Structure 1
Amino acid sequence: MGRFLSLSKPSTKLPLYACSSMAVALTSTFSPRPFFQFPRFKRNPSSLLNSIAPFSVSSQLSNATAEGGSFSGRVGFLGLGIMGTPMALNLIKAGCDVTVWNRTKSKCDQLINQGAKYQASPADVASSCDVTFAMLADPQSAVDIACGVNGAVKGMGPGKGYVDVSTVDGATSKSISESIKETGALFLEAPVSGSKKPAEDGQLIFLTAGDASLYETVAPLLNIMGKSKFYLGEVGNGAAMKLVVNMIMGSMMASFSEGLLLSEKVGLDPNVLVEVVSQGAISAPMFSLKGPSMVQGKYPTAFPLKHQQKDLRLALGLAESVSQPIPMAAAANELYKAAKSHGFSDQDFSAVVEALKANL
């Protein structure tokens, strides 16, 4: 996959990240010349990364990226679900000029009340904004919103950028990228690691790939919505990294579910198991956060189970493309499919434990 850069956000949001009209780092950004043109990035992003040592940030990225910078343009946001709504809201709270769209218009109301503008289609959003973000539920939705009737592509053109933060497979991401680039616009894939609470707290992790100049331009926006960001080179690498991460997460949750039920079956208190696990080498925030509610049979949705199963399915396809066996993930995928069949699709992915309770 090549080398990558990790840029971490300071622990405290400073006014430097605000998207106000007083921003100075990109004051010439929106001149008649396409604002994403940075001469130093004429090379392919992947060749750029292969030519530098890891973490040599300041010599390769502008001060705006390395130090936080500012963004003074208009930001579009498509898709206002569990993740998209808090992400867009954080941009609004930071002072950004945000325009939103969602298939169900009522989901836009909260953001409109907070100061967002509204447009009637993805094409209208893209046409009226300098950078457009998209957070969709699955590959088909991502393609439809970008390339379908009244899709964002119809509003794109030179001087604009499209940032897809959805979790999709690499082929889908590359297809969307090609359609966006045909208009003269730039494309960046930036799937996120993190669920509802990190999205609300601005603590997401962005796994980006694509146009390096667009990455540099939107870095201040990523800093508002997340705690860190990785640039991974060519389009498809961000999608692959996200699928690997979610493959591990889904398998971990399936194994944890087995442990909770086994402890209870042999007469142990599963709450004590959660505490023991939280203090050992296999401690993970996910176990401490999800465990207590799982013991109670409650699954408040932070990451829908149907999306976790979708990501496992896509990870299996990724593994198949390189002939890599992933038997643990394959078994976990079957467990999530069983949980879906029992009606837990829209509950949190921790509801996978219910498939085991059904003795499947």
Structure 2
Amino acid sequence: MTQKPVIGFIGVGFMGHGMAKNILKGGYELWILGNRNRAPVESLLSMGAKEAASPQDMASKCDIIHLCLSNSPQVEAVITGESGIIAGARKGMIVIDTTTADPTSTLAMAEKLSVVGAHMVDAPLGRTPKEAEEGMLDAMLGCDAALFDKVHPVIDCWAGTITRIGEVGTGHKMKLLMNFLGAAYAALYSEATVLGATVGISPHAFREVIAPSRLGSGFFGTFMQYVCDRDENAHKFSIENLSKDIRYVNAMATDAGVMNVMASAARHYFTHAEAIGKGGDFVPMLSDHIGNLNGMDLAAEVAKGKK
């Protein structure tokens, strides 16, 4: 690619909108494909993006296509469906999958793309929609060195940190390890907050002590911003999405023959929250769910302990 490649982007939701916007700011021609929510699509069209009719149509026009979807079945449908990417793929085309996906599926899709001369790069994301809008996401890539050199300038539009983990599939494996920690933290913080409130330690006091200590973190900060300040937008990542990720973690551990007690334990809280219709809630709201399981109205406890 001697000239700037033409870029495609499928999935312009919470994360994808900011990423696509920053690709446009980087001076690339951009084709997009959204879902039911037209607001981010219209926003990007107003900035100069063009709308593709289908993944096949996009593949016929673009050199590099980003995917930012919810799960592996969606990725598989976009790549292999009747009007999917493979149906319109040209030799040398690159698919960058930023979805948090099942690595087994990633390797299968990479193989299918290779049959038509196309390539797969897995580049899952770290951080939040705020950093997506700022062009400061973390990207962990699985691809060979030659592909890394080709996609790096484009990914640099939306990422502040870019790390090549290894060959295709390793980016998604790394992301699952990251989200394993996130799911376990969410369960742990929820249990600790509810236990503390039960024995007379308010969520506010818990945050005040832990936040500046060695146990504090960015994740703890946004999690407790919801718990203590009831800020529903502090950490915009759904329970159902993280539930999917922790299922993928457990599957990866099973395939590797590794005992995974902590991942299995965390999975149950997320599965239960989904089962009672709370999958659309954001991850810090798991604390309310665990409070309810223990007969506690956590919001009321927060109000009692507020200074």
Q: Residue 105 of structure 1: CA displacement?
A: 6.7
| Contact 2:70/2:100 (8 A) holds in 1 | yes
Equivalent residue number for residue 248 of structure 2: 314
User: Which AA in structure 1 matches 2:102?
Assistant: D
1:333-348 alignment, distance < 5 Å: 333-348=267-282
Distance 1:181 1:29 in 2: 22
SS in 2 for 1:232: strand
Distance 1:193 1:292 in 2: 19
Equivalent residue number for residue 293 of structure 1: 226
1:146 aligns with 2:79: yes
Higher RCO structure (Cα 8 Å, ≥6 apart): 1
| Contact 1:305/1:344 (8 A) holds in 2 | yes
Structure in which a larger fraction of residues adopt helix: 2
CA deviations 1:227-275 (Å, max 9, x no partner) are 1112122222111111111001110111011111122222222122112
Distance 2:96 2:85 in 1: 11
1:256 is aligned, of 169, 184, 189, to 189
SS in 2 for 1:321: helix
Q: Which runs of 5+ in 2 are unaligned?
A: 295-307
1:1-360 alignment, distance < 5 Å: 29-30=2-3, 72-104=4-36, 106=38, 107-300=40-233, 302-359=236-293
| Contact 2:186/2:223 (8 A) holds in 1 | no
User: Which AA in structure 1 matches 2:5?
Assistant: G
Distance 1:148 1:102 in 2: 16
Q: Residue 297 of structure 1: CA displacement?
A: 4.6
Equivalent residue number for residue 62 of structure 1: none
CA deviations 1:136-194 (Å, max 9, x no partner) are 10010010011112111112121321111111111110111112111112221111122
Q: Residue 336 of structure 1: CA displacement?
A: 0.9
SS in 2 for 1:346: coil
SS in 1 for 2:157: helix
Q: Residue 342 of structure 1: CA displacement?
A: 3.0
CA deviations 1:273-319 (Å, max 9, x no partner) are 11211111111111112202223555336111101000000000101
Q: Residue 73 of structure 1: CA displacement?
A: 1.7
| Contact 1:339/1:351 (8 A) holds in 2 | no
User: In percent, how many aligned pairs have the same letter?
Assistant: 26
Distance 1:181 1:316 in 2: 28
SS in 2 for 1:188: strand
User: Which AA in structure 2 matches 1:343?
Assistant: G
| Contact 1:153/1:183 (8 A) holds in 2 | yes
Distance 1:251 1:241 in 2: 16
Equivalent residue number for residue 302 of structure 2: none
User: Which AA in structure 2 matches 1:79?
Assistant: G
| Contact 2:203/2:227 (8 A) holds in 1 | no
Q: Residue 195 of structure 1: CA displacement?
A: 2.3
SS in 1 for 2:237: coil
TM-score with structure 2 setting the length: 0.90
SS in 2 for 1:224: coil
Please, what is the CA RMSD of the aligned residues?
Answer: 1.6
Distance 1:359 1:261 in 2: 10
Distance 1:247 1:308 in 2: 9
Q: Which runs of 5+ in 1 are unaligned?
A: 1-27, 31-71
User: Which AA in structure 2 matches 1:143?
Assistant: E
| Contact 1:197/1:302 (8 A) holds in 2 | no
User: Which AA in structure 2 matches 1:351?
Assistant: M
Distance 1:193 1:270 in 2: 27
CA deviations 1:84-142 (Å, max 9, x no partner) are 11111111123221110123372411110111011110111111111111111001001
Runs of 4+ in structure 1 off by over 6 angstroms are none
CA deviations 1:301-359 (Å, max 9, x no partner) are 61111010000000001011112111112111101112222332122111111221222
Distance 1:212 1:147 in 2: 26
TM-score with structure 1 setting the length: 0.77
User: Which AA in structure 1 matches 2:75?
Assistant: A
